[in-house]
Amino acid sequence: MNTNQYDTARHLLSIAEEVEKYNDNLGKQDSLSELILTQATHDDILFVCNILEQYSLTVEDILIIAVVFKAYILDADRKVRSLEIVNKIFPEFDRRMEALLSLQSLIRRSILDLRDVSTSFKNISVVVKNQESHYSLTQIIGSSLILQESFLNEVLCEKSESLSLQNQPYSDNREFLEGYFKYISALKELRRWIKIYHDDMIDCSEEIARIRTAKELHNSRLRYSELRFPFTEFAEDESLDENEQNLIMYMLREELDGNDCTLNELLDFLSNDRFEQHQMKFYFEPQSKIISRGLVEMSEGGNLAMHSDEVRLAPDISRRLLCRKPEGDNEQLQLILRGEEMFDVVNPTKTFDDVILAEDIRTKIETAAMRYQVDVDSKLRAWGIDKSPEGLRVGENDEAPLLLLFSGLSGTGKTISAEAFAERLGKKLIVTDISRMLSKWVGDSQKSVHRLFYLFDRIIRRCENPPVLLLNECDQFLSKRDSSNNTSVDRMFHQMQNLFLEGFERIRGVLIATTNLADSIDEAFSRRFHMKLEFPKPGKAERLALWKLHISSSIPQDKNLELEKLASKFELTGGQIALITRNAAIDVAVNNYPLTALKLREFCHMEINSSLTGNRKIIGF
């Protein structure tokens, strides 16, 4: 030690010796603090006050510290009983409460800590949550005192790792994660240590101090860091509470160490006893934030009664937290939708050249596509026309919301137009329909709707060029609500519709919904679509173009298939024409003769008759 280190320690030991010297000679009416102030230790106390001025110590504080410091330096057990301190420094009975309050204050200021303290599980939870010692006066009376390591280092002019780093910012994401992992390790060790004991009262002060030190060091370095770390942004985006944040970091640490996590292991980490363990199961239920949003994945068929189930972070979340970004949108989509059966991902191959539509409909669709290609959205914001809900966009360059409703009979080109729309924007298409959301289990359908919009929002935020979302056959979702019906099924659909309304209100990116029944759309939904297009049955010119499009020249055929006559006579949709030509081609392949106008008319009559009887699906191969 250098001179300053010797001086501080010497002055504290000198004060402690004065306490010992005068303790036996005090009268019952005398106050030790008053006697010391009139004698040689006045200079010692003044010196310590100046050296440790950041702690704003009182005379009584210094007397207490001096006695504990002497025990720490000279005694083998390095601790002193709290009542011994009280008896030595505050012999007057009416000042005992003041003495206890002084001890409590020094503990809360991270100068002293307790040993041999009996702390209940309930109090442990409070301490861990607040990262601060809140010992009761009863606990202080029954325990011993030691100096906190950080304060002892100040006295000896030494710096621990935490002191040397606490004002240093994290230089990169790896340092940030290592700092957080130290806190997670201390927290896990405390809970593991608690479970070793079978009784309800234990001494855990050392473990709590270690947790507090790790947390304070991490928070201090984070405050000095100018960098924005992936986990911080992730926790804010998902509005994670403290348990959820600790859980995510624990799982990330185990993943980096090559370890699998089980449900039982994670419940142990979050809880101090079996009662808390039962409460913490909420975090792993289907409706919980981390499960419903796909942040954490549980093994297939897992349930809360199966403690051996594997639980892991979603792959795209792990990559995000580790700054290992996917190589492109394809990999990002695969990571987000891994294991999902709700969506089909389509690479658009159809263009507007493949879509046979009336000219006015085609023009309107292409105009909608141009909104993204010429940055119309930024102009609308500048003009004050686009007043999106607060919080809808994270940044100026985020995808603008565009909701399109394509209505019309089956086969009029709604789905292929959606594919061509995505192709024009250079985007993929993800497709779902009502059959993938409905469930016989109570509440599962509503969860599916919630998850639909959450996953799409994650895709929008994570992909450089997010795909277009296509909701096919959404008639039941968007139909007018009948308040007179109050069956369980009606209530379920009303809840799903409310979730859709909320999802449409806050969605970003491009969504296309298709319906066969435009007149049945509820007004509340209709207002939320930026553009509504009705696809009429194709006219004669469009039907002729569709016949020419679907009959490949490679099919063996007569020279004259009388396509103009077919277009004039049969008022078919594009979907029907596609089905007829396919069935006719199969017939040619089976019977090995060329396609004729007569055979095409035959299949046209079959299609019309099947449509009239409502059993169209039974025709065809």
CATH number at residue 469: 3.40.50.300
Which residue, chain included where needed, has tokens 């939320």?
A: 528
- The total of structural domains in the chain comes to 4
Instruction: Indicate if 190 and 306 belong to the same structural domain.
Output: yes
Instruction: Indicate if 364 and 457 belong to the same structural domain.
Output: yes
Which residue, chain included where needed, has tokens 């004991």?
A: 197
Instruction: Indicate if 387 and 529 belong to the same structural domain.
Output: yes
Q: Is the pLDDT of residue 245 over 90?
A: yes
563 inside domain: yes
456 inside domain: yes
Mean pLDDT throughout 138-145?
Answer: 81
Q: What angle do CA 410, 403, 578 make, to 5 degrees?
A: 20
Instruction: Indicate if 51 and 97 belong to the same structural domain.
Output: yes
Instruction: Indicate if 205 and 112 belong to the same structural domain.
Output: no
DSSP assigned state of 481: P
Mean pLDDT throughout 359-365?
Answer: 85
**pLDDT of the residue at 519:** 72
**pLDDT of the residue at 71:** 82
Percent residues over pLDDT 70 in the chain: 78
Q: Is the pLDDT of residue 397 over 70?
A: no
Mean pLDDT throughout 491-507?
Answer: 84
Between 410 and 585, whose confidence is greater?
585
Mean pLDDT throughout 182-192?
Answer: 84
Mean pLDDT throughout 127-143?
Answer: 64
Instruction: Indicate if 486 and 571 belong to the same structural domain.
Output: no
Q: DSSP letters of 361-425?
A: HHHHHHHHHHHHHTTHHHHHHHTT---PPTTS-SSTTSPPPEEEEEEESTTSSHHHHHHHHHHHH
Mean pLDDT throughout 52-72?
Answer: 85
Q: Which segment, 163-167, 213-217, 601-605, is predicted with the most confidence on average? A: 601-605
Both structure tokens of 159: 């710096």
Q: Residue 156, exposed/middle/buried by CB under 10 A (0-12, 13-18, 19+)? A: middle
131 inside domain: no
Q: Is the pLDDT of residue 391 over 50?
A: no
- Provide the b/e sequence for 307-323 (b: ≥16 CB within 10 Å): eebebbbbbbbbbbbbe
Query: Of 34-38, 57-61, 117-121, 339-343, where does mean pLDDT reach its minimum?
Result: 117-121
Q: Which segment, 75-89, 158-172, 212-226, 363-377, is predicted with the most confidence on average? A: 212-226
CA torsion through residues 473, 474, 475, 476, sign: positive
Q: Is the pLDDT of residue 387 over 70?
A: no
The whole-angstrom separation of Cα 367 and Cα 363 is: 6
Q: pLDDT for 406-438, tens place per residue?
A: 988 888 889 999 999 999 989 999 999 877 887
Out of 535, 559, 578, pick the residue that ends a domain: 535
**pLDDT of the residue at 294:** 78
Q: pLDDT for 557-576, tens place per residue?
A: 988 889 999 999 998 988 89
CATH number at residue 580: 1.10.8.60
Instruction: Indicate if 515 and 548 belong to the same structural domain.
Output: no
124 inside domain: no
Between 589 and 19, whose confidence is greater?
589
544 inside domain: yes
CATH number at residue 57: 1.10.10
Mean pLDDT throughout 306-330?
Answer: 77
Instruction: Indicate if 467 and 604 belong to the same structural domain.
Output: no
Q: pLDDT for 17-61, tens place per residue?
A: 887 777 656 554 455 555 555 566 788 888 888 888 888 888 888
Instruction: Indicate if 484 and 559 belong to the same structural domain.
Output: no
DSSP assigned state of 112: E
Longest dimension (CA), the chain: 129
Instruction: Indicate if 400 and 350 belong to the same structural domain.
Output: yes
Both structure tokens of 454: 């959450």
Identify the band that residue 396 occupies on the pLDDT scale cut at 50, 70 and 90.
very low
What residues form DSSP beta bridges with 312? 297
Instruction: Indicate if 301 and 286 belong to the same structural domain.
Output: yes
Question: Whole domain around residue 376: which residue ranges?
Answer: 344-535
Q: pLDDT for 444-465, tens place per residue?
A: 788 888 888 888 888 887 788 8
Out of 495, 512, 535, pick the residue that ends a domain: 535
The whole-angstrom separation of Cα 570 and Cα 552 is: 20
97 inside domain: yes
Out of 156, 184, 207, pick the residue that ends a domain: 156
To the nearest 10 degrees (0 to 180), the angle between helices 414-425 and 359-373 is 30
145 inside domain: yes
262 inside domain: yes
Between 175 and 490, whose confidence is greater?
175
Q: Is the pLDDT of residue 162 over 70?
A: no
**pLDDT of the residue at 120:** 45
Instruction: Indicate if 443 and 548 belong to the same structural domain.
Output: no
Q: pLDDT for 535-545, tens place per residue?
A: 888 889 989 99
